[in-house]
Amino acid sequence: MTTTQYIRTGCFLAAAAAVMIWSCNTGSSAKTPAATISTAPELLKVDTSTIPKDKYGEMVRYGRELMLNTAYYIGPEGINGRYLGNKMNCTNCHQDGGTKAFSFNLMLSHQEYPQYRAREGKVLTLAERINNCVTRPHNGKPLPLDSKEMVAFLAYLRWINSFVPKDKPHQGSHNLAVKLPDTAADPEKGKTLYQEHCARCHGKDGEGQLAGVTYTYPPLWGPNGYQPGSSMHRVIKQAQWLKANMPYDKASWNKPFLTDEEALDIAAFVNNDSIHARPDVKNYDYPHVAEKAIDYDKGPFADTFSARQHKYGPFRPVISYWEQNGMKASY
Ligand code: HEC
Ligand code: HEC
């Protein structure tokens, strides 16, 4: 499902809820003015003070610790195991330990796996999906499925899932949408914007700021950044996330700092492999080409567009082509 579709669904549910409340009110003596009723879908959030004080709660707490201080526990110098190939933390992308709305939020994940994954062309468990992030953005080796760390991640994801309202519309589980322009994203413009808005924290060469076991500001490319097969390496995917979340001290989901076009240009610059090296990987998956995300730049492709167009756009002609040929364009 694309983000746009999700947001539309969210609005529809909100509208439906509003109509229900409205019709209740008109049925009574209409004491409550409609203006005081919030029709906005609820924002996803959790309350950590409610983590149970039992064995399960202990695992939830460790899982949360792992999300926030991943490198400290299981990084290249990890105290509980050496799995990650870099010193980034899960929370660098899944902010607030996967609970921040519109930031690759993980609160639905526990209820949505096992799930068919086009990338591998098979149904994966949530544990296997976690290992995809351990191996790709963290450039590491998979956690044993029965390790304490994997069980803790799973316990934590189950616990945050319990805060997802079951009977009310909610928002923030998917990133914001970006409007796709008619032109390709421009890494040259992105370069200027990057130096202006991002370099002060992430460094002029995207190297980040290392502080011992992990980063104050994580790296964006280079040997310590995410792999080219990571979803963050896809231009649309990254732009959708940047919109609500970066610059860190200026953007929020309801007041983005970058325009959609700026977010796409910057993502194009950050992910420009001809100037930015990344850890080398050989396997880019997607056994069925017609299931490949359209902003995934590794061929072969199910259409005749170039790798460059898959990377930078313009994406709309690609989407139209896919739709006309009865394929589902995902991004
Ligand atoms: C460089 C950024 C980055 C880092 C670091 C990262 N992830 Fe991810 N993760 C992603 C992206 C991007 C997705 C795909 C989200 C999407 O498709 O919308 C994802 C997806 C996931 C999913 C699947 C979510 C779902 O519901 O389908 C899980 C679970 C997950 N990550 C867990 C982790 C864990 C645990 C860590 C730390 C070990 C981690 N991630 C580190 C970027 C990252
Ligand atoms: C004020 C400092 C600051 C600025 C400015 C800033 N960031 Fe970040 N960025 C962060 C921090 C801190 C994190 C990690 C977030 C966390 O752990 O909660 C992060 C995480 C990221 C990540 C995901 C992790 C990774 O390293 O891959 C990306 C991508 C990113 N920023 C891109 C950008 C871009 C592009 C800009 C400019 C538009 C930008 N940031 C501006 C502080 C900043």
Instruction: For residue 221, give the ligand nearest its CA.
Output: 2
Spatial separation of the C-alpha atoms in residues 308 and 286, rounded to whole Å: 18
The pLDDT tens digits of the residues spanning 106-121 come to: 999 999 999 999 999 9
**245 Cβ below 6 A of ligand 2:** no
Quick one: pLDDT at residue 215? Answer: 97
**pTM, rounded to two decimals:** 0.91
- Architecture (CATH level 2) of domain 175-331: Orthogonal Bundle (1.10)
CA distance 163 to 278: 37
Nearest CA, atom 25, ligand 1: 109
What is the reported pLDDT for 2? 37
Give pLDDT, residue 4: 34
Inform me whether the pLDDT recorded for 26 exceeds 50: no
In the chain, domain spans: 3-41, 51-167, 175-331
Structure tokens at 306: 């170039």
Q: Whose CA is nearest to atom 42 of ligand 1?
A: 93
Closest ligand 1 atom to residue 230 Cα is: 12
Q: Is 266 in the pocket of ligand 2 (CB under 6 A)?
A: yes
Nearest CA to ligand 2 atom 17: 92
192 has pLDDT over 50 = yes
Q: What is the pLDDT of residue 39?
A: 66
Check pLDDT > 60 for residue 251.
yes
51-167 and 175-331 share one CATH topology? yes
Mean of pLDDT over the chain: 90
Q: What residue's CA is closest to ligand 1, atom 11?
A: 231
Quickly name the fold that domain 51-167 has.
Answer: Cytochrome Bc1 Complex; Chain D, domain 2 (1.10.760)
